[in-house]
Amino acid sequence: MARGERAREIGLAAGVLLVAGAVFAVASRPSRTSGDGEARCGAGLVARGPRCCPGAEISLGSCASAPVLERRVLVPRTSLVVGPSDWEGEGRVQPRTIVAGPFFLDAHEATVRAYHCPACVAPDPARMATGDLARAVGRLSRDQAAAYCAHRGGRLPTEAEWIVAATGPKGSRYPWGDTGAVCRRAAWGLEAGPCALSATGPDTAGAHPDGATPLGVEDLAGNVAEWVSDDPPQVRGGSFRSSLATELRIWARRELPASSHEPDVGARCAYDHDVVER
């Protein structure tokens, strides 16, 4: 074969590999817009921009309905060795053993409905002006989150309880397992990608059931970050503003002033086992 023809063949093959690599990279990257939102939202939910709505209608920029989310999950007593499970965790996690449970944990984050209007039967347009009833509530200080949980007969979870609930005894990287931080499993990257654009608040609570833990706890990664009771004041779980999958990892935490009112910080309540069982 002539040297020139051989060079052309090598160049063509390299070009094919580059195109194939680019196609793979695009195919494996989460969507940057809401155009394929049907795949991003759970069954029975409809994509409306960066939101996943329970129903086809949207009113005043908000989802038209707000389901009541009252389920609690029993988290059994669990002993877990916490440590860096991969190179991304190196230097961020001090190896230790934590023990927590049994306790009950809300299966969903506190919603606008539960926080502001627990007795509402239908959405209230006056309240929807600051965020519709279906979405997870944000802008909570730690004291506000703790007071909400106390009103429900519960409390904020400890850091150990949150970790145990999110990862179970196996110590997985994410609440759903070790791999697959994709858009259908968590409400993340909704503000500036990679899962959607222009979100100004959290998504509908419970809109990503594919990201539930084996026990059935949803949204422990993404949507709103959740206060725990430990000091220094901290939140866990990433949020709708997270642009990196590493921010959804079990070991990731964000320290904040307890008095802060961040739009992507909310609450999930824990309940003592003996109190609930009475």
- Identify whether residues 8 and 134 lie together within a single domain: no
- Identify whether residues 81 and 20 lie together within a single domain: no
Q: Going by C-beta distance under 8 Å and a sequence separation of 6 or more, which residues neighbour residue 18?
A: none
Does 100 score more than 60 pLDDT?
yes
- Identify whether residues 157 and 224 lie together within a single domain: yes
- Identify whether residues 14 and 111 lie together within a single domain: no
- Identify whether residues 237 and 200 lie together within a single domain: yes
How many domains is the chain built from?
2
User: Could you read off the pLDDT of 150-193 as tens digits, one per residue?
Assistant: 999 999 999 999 999 999 888 888 999 988 899 999 999 999 99
Residues of 193-203 as b/e, b for ≥16 C-beta within 10 angstroms?
Answer: ebbbbebebbb
Higher-scoring residue by pLDDT: 38, 244: 244
Placement of tokens 């969903």 in the chain: 108
What is the rounded distance in angstroms from the CA atom of residue 181 to the CA atom of residue 84? 18
- Identify whether residues 42 and 24 lie together within a single domain: no
Question: Any idea which of 29-33, 112-116, 259-263 has the lowest mean pLDDT?
Answer: 29-33
Q: Which is nearest to 17 in space by CA: 6, 29, 7, 9? A: 9
Does 245 score more than 80 pLDDT?
yes
What's the chain's length in residues? 278
Range of the domain at 155: 33-277
- Identify whether residues 7 and 43 lie together within a single domain: no
| Average confidence score pLDDT of the chain | 80
User: Could you read off the pLDDT of 181-203 as tens digits, one per residue?
Assistant: 999 999 999 999 999 999 989 99
- Identify whether residues 7 and 60 lie together within a single domain: no
- Identify whether residues 118 and 234 lie together within a single domain: yes
- Identify whether residues 111 and 233 lie together within a single domain: yes
Does 96 score more than 60 pLDDT?
yes
- Identify whether residues 124 and 240 lie together within a single domain: yes
- Identify whether residues 188 and 224 lie together within a single domain: yes
Q: Which is nearest to 139 in space by CA: 232, 265, 276? A: 265
